[in-house]
Amino acid sequence: MEVRRLFGVNFDNLTMQEAINLIEKQIDFNKNKNGKSVLVTPNVDHLVNLSKNTDFYSKYQKASITLVDGAPIYFASKILRKPLKEKVSGADLVPEVLKLAEKRTFKVFIFGSKDGVPELAIKKLQNENNYTFKIGYYSPPFGFDRDLNAIELGVKKINEFSPDILLVSLGSPKGELFIFDNLYRLNVPISMQVGAAIDFLAGTIKRAPLWMQKFGLEWFYRFLQEPKRMFRRYFINDAYFLTLLLKELLKKDDK
């Protein structure tokens, strides 16, 4: 499998279909060998946080599959002459993973999102696609990640359902840290942090029009929807990406 190292992260250079094929193989292998895989989809915000948080960075490196989510990273890969084949965002990946679950009758568990959102997403999926695979969910209370008993309950609910695929919707880095910190206790073949993908499925957050996605403006659409919440992330925190890009341009060539 071809890897592109960009901004200190090893990206798996895959198309959407190649990613789905790899996920299916990982699930089959891990079910037979009792293994555990983690999939992450780095965007600009992730890269900025990874550059500033050594604990987050060290855990992130343990991911089994790393797919490019952010359009700016995808475009930067072309400028840096380490082109990635395709942007494979969590929002685009999850519907394809669910198609795979239906095809293979894999069990799926959604962990996270606000109360009511996973149920709404599941209801829409079943009504619109006639999906019949087993799918469970649990929305932990706010601040659960600081409560050992609440974390224990979350892990217990996941393991009781015994999913083949775990979709974690907690935001970053909370979602990734929950997976990596509890991976040894999670009896799941593959776990993924999927950001707002469940909200998009439920329709509680609208996704940008296709033309905005194509031109890398999805972030701006999110900002227009939630300006107060997203201003700091996009215009203060993520502005550091320009510094990261400059550093990358000044580096000596490496694959």
Whole-model pTM?
Answer: 0.91
Strand-pair partners of 193:
168
Q: Inform me whether the pLDDT recorded for 242 exceeds 80.
A: yes
Tokens describing residue 73: 């990273």
pLDDT tens digits along 163-221: 999 999 998 899 999 999 999 999 999 999 998 899 999 988 887 787 777 777 777 77
**Distance of alpha carbon 183 from alpha carbon 25, whole angstroms:** 19
What local confidence, expressed as pLDDT, does residue 76 receive? 93
Query: Residue 20: is its pLDDT beyond 80?
Result: yes
Q: Residue 193: what pLDDT?
A: 94
* Closest of 150, 26, 37, 23 to residue 96, by C-alpha: 23
**CA-to-CA distance for 186 and 159, rounded, in angstroms?**
6
**Under 8 Å CB-to-CB from 161, ≥6 apart: which residues?**
107, 109, 134, 136
pLDDT tens for each residue of 65-114: 999 998 889 999 999 999 999 999 988 999 999 999 999 999 999 999 88
* Residue 166, strand partner residues: 109, 191
